[in-house]
Amino acid sequence: MVLWRKDDLPSYQLVSVLEDRDNGTTDIIRGLDLLPSSLFQSEFYQHFSPQDFSRSFHHALITAEAGHKLSKSQGDQGLREKFKKPHDFFEKVLWPFLGSEYEGLSLEELKAMPPDPRIFKKL
């Protein structure tokens, strides 16, 4: 993995780890295409932070209407466009991997909760 680019800038790998540390990130959710990066970053992270990196999750790739991987570089609007309600992403992408409940709540209880605008804004 590259840590410093030829154009004398830090790579995604380095910046991602440092930003997660500096922002106090506790849970990381990425597509399966970034699993190799996450494996490298979890090793690398241990040298920069005492915080555990084990709370990462990799979901199946989310595709745009045209069938390609959802990507802003392809002109896609992002998750907010694909999932109109905050709970749609949780239900359709994350829930299949979590099992029958999350932190003691069922899917129905989670869907009944009012959306947290801080979370949806970031999607």
**Residue-wise pLDDT tens digits, 74-122:** 887 777 777 777 677 777 777 776 666 566 677 777 677 766 555 444 4
Question: Phi, psi at residue 56, to the nearest 5°?
Answer: -120, 150
pTM for the structure as a whole? 0.62
Evaluate if residue 3 carries a pLDDT over 80: yes
Evaluate if residue 2 carries a pLDDT over 90: no
Of 106 and 22, more confident:
22
Q: What angle do CA 60, 45, 17 make, to 5 degrees?
A: 65
**Residue-wise pLDDT tens digits, 33-62:** 888 888 888 888 878 776 666 577 788 788
| Exposure class string for 35-66: b at 16+ Cβ within 10 A, else e | eebbeebeebbeeeeeeebeebebeeebeeee
Tell me the C-alpha to C-alpha distance, in Å, between residue 72 and each of 35, 39, 68: 20, 24, 11
